[in-house]
A = this chain, B = another copy of it.
Amino acid sequence: MAATKRAHVLQFAVLGLLHEGPMHGYELRKRLNSVLGTFRAISYGSLYPCLKEMLAAGLIAEDGPADAGAPALSGRRARIVYKLTPEGKDRFQAWLADAGPEAYEDELFGVHLAFFGRTDRDIRLRILLGRRNRLEERLATLRSNMAKRRERLDEWTLTLQQHGLDSVEREVDWLSHLIDSEIDGNPPSSTSTGTGPASK
C-alpha cells in the first residue's frame, strides 16, 4: 500500500492533538501553533489535504454528528469533525517510540517534547540526552568556527554569532535541568506518570 510516503510531522501533530478529543480542521489548525515550533501556523492549504490523506489512510475517521454532549453547537457551516481510529492511535504510539536521530533536530524535537506526556520515560530521557548531545556538537562547531576567523569577522557578524552561541548554551542548560529532573524521578511538577486525566 505504501500510502504514507514520508512521515510528515504534520500528521503526527494531528494524531497527537486528536488524543485530546475529536476536532475539526479549523480548530486543529489553531492548536497546531503550540505544537509545531513556537510560532509557525500551518496554512489550510497544507492542513486539509493532509487530513484527507490521513482519512484515506484510515488514521482518522469522521466523527458521527450524534454527539449528545453538545447539541446546541449546530450553528455555522457543516463542519467535519475528525476522531482517531485504532490505527491512528497505533501509528502515534509507534512514532512516540521512534526516537531516532531526527528526533534531536530542531524541528522534530519540539513536537516530541510537546507529546512527552504520552511518551515512555526511557524514551523521554533518550530524546533529551540525544538533543543535548546534538547541541553540544553544534556548540563545538560554532566555537571552533569563531575562533578560527575571529579577526576576519566584522562586529555585527560577531555579535550575531555570539548571540547564537549564548542561545544554544542556554538551551543546553535548560535540557540539563530537564534531564536531572527526569533522572531524579520528579518531572517539572509531577502528575501521574503517563496519560493524565484524559478529559472528555
Contacts and interface: CB of A to CB of B under 8 A. Distances in A.
Contact of A170 (B113, B116, B161, B197): B197
Contact of A34 (B145, B159, B178): B145
Report the copy number of this chain in the oligomer: 2
A112 to B, nearest CB: 10
A177 B155 CA distance: 14
A73 interface: no
Interface in A21-49: 34, 38-39
Contact of A154 (B145, B157, B196): B196
A133 interface: no
A191 B154 contact: yes
Contact of A160 (B114, B138, B159): B114
23 contacts: A38-B142, A38-B164, A39-B138, A113-B160, A114-B160, A116-B154, A116-B156, A117-B154, A117-B156, A117-B157, A155-B187, A155-B190, A156-B188, A158-B190, A159-B178, A159-B188, A159-B189, A159-B190, A162-B191, A163-B174, A167-B171, A170-B198, A173-B200
